[in-house]
Amino acid sequence: MRWRNSLIVFWTLLPLLYLGVAYGASSGHRDHTAAMRWWKQARFGMFIHWGIYSEAAGFWHGKPVPHSDGAWIMDKAHLTRQAYSTLAAKFDPIDFNADRWVRMAKRAGARYIVITAKHHDGFCMFRTNATHFNVVDDTPWHKDPLAMLAKACNKYGIRFCTYYSIQDWHSRYTLPAIGNPNQGHPTWQPMRFTANGGGEKYVHYVQRQVGELIRQYHPSLLWFDNNITRSWITQQGVHVAGWSYVDAADVFHFVRKLDPTIIINNRLGYGFGDYKTPEEHIPPDGLPGAWETCMTINWTWGYKRDDHHWKTPTVLITNLIKCASGGGNFLLNVGPTGKGIIPQSEVRRMLAIGKWLKVNGQAIYGSHRTPFAKALPFGYATQKPGMLFLEVTRWPHHQPLLVPIRNKIQRAYVLGFPQVKVKVENEPRGRLLYLPGKMPEPVATVIALKISGAPHPLP
């Protein structure tokens, strides 16, 4: 009986042991430290949500779909697969220009691009032999935008990365949460697998397509999406009914074997991945380890023609600073139209970020999180060896700015404004900086401090 009890304990603990291996192979993976270096240096990336949903632009039969993100129209309008697939015949982005997109991203200061290779709708924006439901075979355009974007990214020195959804509302191995996939009024979220091995077959389908993405476009990063929610046991629960830690492990290790240098986000679930991905919010104190906030530039991920709730350049630049100050990256989304044009309202905001970064990028790229445990009354801070950067968003008009550190300041200056004099005075509470009455940079002025040794904050 003793050996039977031992066997029962072994099989009971095996999933948890496997889960522990998953965590060890994901976040603290020694062999992947070098591959993460470029990503940690980048700090700013451009997300692109583009697909046949961009043709619908949030409308169905001429009427706006309530509560619909542009990319979620199939679910929110309760469309059958047959009805939704009619968008493919209309998708003809004759104004798409990969060079123009990537040049804009470069001018915006983005160091990497993440493009939706396949969103939840299952439509593939790349050449694939796994399904006919793709941009090359099923649209009048018959072109491969990922191939063109990968080439342009290589030309302009931008890292090319691909998004791939674990959800797939079109696959023959999946079913909607409610209703018949081709009749009635289906609700697709959360997706579930078909009976008789649908989950296993679907994992093979995912591996086949991910293999195509890696071999055809050589992305630096795979941004998986699984519509994740928090879970006390897995840390990363999923909204794909039946998706297990074995499925996540199979895909994770498949990618690692095919290309060990590829960075993987955490949305396979169950602890697999190299970094965390808060969405539409920035943790006030950052997160332990590597992380990246992804955010819309208005209220929607895919193009929606009646969404004019634009975040201001000030908000977007401040969000970038917040992420860097917390030790994270900022991935900002744009949503091109069905014709392949990134709206000018988005271009202007991206270029405003680029204009600020051209002057102040030294404080963002390759920076480390703030050394201060408490929030700073004047704004934010980042650091590099021997340097402390203060991103001042609240200017202390006619008052000295107090920096609560013990370090000796060897030099203090304002990035981009060499004519501005900064006087330093020591006092028990820290170091006082005497600044001009007017803020030189209207969004965020960066004061660079050359200091002796690592920062030693005062309590």
pLDDT of residue 184: 87
Reading the block at residue 170, the tokens are 């079109």
User: Is position 26 within any domain?
Assistant: yes
> Domain tally for the chain?
2
Same domain, 359 and 400: no
Q: In whole angstroms, what separates CA 69 from the centre of its chain?
A: 17
Q: Show which of 333, 363, 393 is a domain's final residue.
A: 363
Same domain, 278 and 388: no
pLDDT of residue 31: 57
Q: Show which of 335, 363, 391 is a domain's final residue.
A: 363
The sign of the dihedral angle between the CA atoms of 74, 78, 79, 81 is positive
User: Is position 8 within any domain?
Assistant: no
Reading the block at residue 285, the tokens are 């104190």
User: Is position 3 within any domain?
Assistant: no
User: Is position 458 within any domain?
Assistant: no
User: Is position 314 within any domain?
Assistant: yes
Same domain, 287 and 411: no
Q: In whole angstroms, what separates CA 428 from the centre of its chain?
A: 42
Same domain, 419 and 309: no
CA atoms of 353 and 334, how far apart (whole Å): 13
Structural domain that includes position 425: 379-451
Same domain, 174 and 285: yes
pLDDT in tens, the chain (459 residues): 434 344 333 333 444 444 443 333 344 344 578 889 999 999 999 999 999 999 999 999 999 999 888 999 999 999 999 999 999 999 999 999 999 999 999 999 999 999 999 999 999 999 999 999 999 999 999 999 999 999 999 999 999 999 999 999 999 999 999 888 888 899 998 889 998 899 999 999 999 999 999 999 999 999 999 854 433 233 444 467 889 999 999 999 999 999 999 999 999 999 999 999 999 999 999 999 999 999 999 999 999 999 999 999 999 999 999 999 999 999 999 999 999 999 999 999 999 999 999 999 999 999 999 999 999 999 999 999 999 999 999 999 889 999 999 999 999 999 999 999 999 999 999 999 999 988 999 999 999 999 999 999 998
CA atoms of 184 and 416, how far apart (whole Å): 61
Reading the block at residue 38, the tokens are 């470029």
Counting Cβ atoms within 10 Å, is residue 134 exposed (0-12), middle (13-18) or buried (19+)?
buried
Task: Report how many helices (DSSP H) and strands (DSSP E) the chain contains, helices first.
Answer: 11, 18
Counting Cβ atoms within 10 Å, is residue 36 exposed (0-12), middle (13-18) or buried (19+)?
middle
DSSP conformational letter for 197: T
Same domain, 386 and 357: no
User: Is position 457 within any domain?
Assistant: no
Residue 240: which residues within 8 A CB-CB, separation 6 or more? 166, 167, 190, 191, 192, 193, 226, 227
User: Is position 25 within any domain?
Assistant: yes
Same domain, 265 and 405: no
Same domain, 260 and 294: yes
Which CATH number covers residue 220? 3.20.20.80
Q: Provide the residue type at 356 as one letter.
A: W
pLDDT of residue 397: 84
Counting Cβ atoms within 10 Å, is residue 49 exposed (0-12), middle (13-18) or buried (19+)?
buried
Same domain, 337 and 416: no
CA atoms of 349 and 334, how far apart (whole Å): 10
Same domain, 358 and 383: no
Q: What torsion do the CA atoms of 126, 279, 348, 117 make, to the nearest 10 degrees?
A: 0
Which residue, among 21, 28, 40, 49, has the nearest Cα to 294 in the 3D structure?
Answer: 49
Contact assessment for residue 310 and residue 295, using Cβ atoms and an 8 Å cutoff: no
Same domain, 186 and 323: yes
Q: Show which of 311, 328, 363 is a domain's final residue.
A: 363
Core vs surface per residue 111-127: b (16+ CB within 10 A) or e: bbbbbbbbbbbbbbbbb
Contact assessment for residue 68 and residue 90, using Cβ atoms and an 8 Å cutoff: no
Residue 317: which residues within 8 A CB-CB, separation 6 or more? 352, 353, 356, 443, 444
Contact assessment for residue 229 and residue 209, using Cβ atoms and an 8 Å cutoff: no
Contact assessment for residue 434 and residue 349, using Cβ atoms and an 8 Å cutoff: no
Same domain, 304 and 443: no
Which residue, among 53, 44, 215, has the nearest Cα to 146 in the 3D structure?
Answer: 215
CA atoms of 334 and 151, how far apart (whole Å): 20
User: Is position 348 within any domain?
Assistant: yes
Contact assessment for residue 81 and residue 170, using Cβ atoms and an 8 Å cutoff: yes
pLDDT of residue 239: 64
Alpha carbon distances (Å) from 395 to 118, 402, 441: 45, 12, 10
pTM of the shown model:
0.92
Which CATH number covers residue 442? 2.60.40
Alpha carbon distances (Å) from 100 to 3, 64, 156, 336, 388: 67, 30, 11, 12, 36
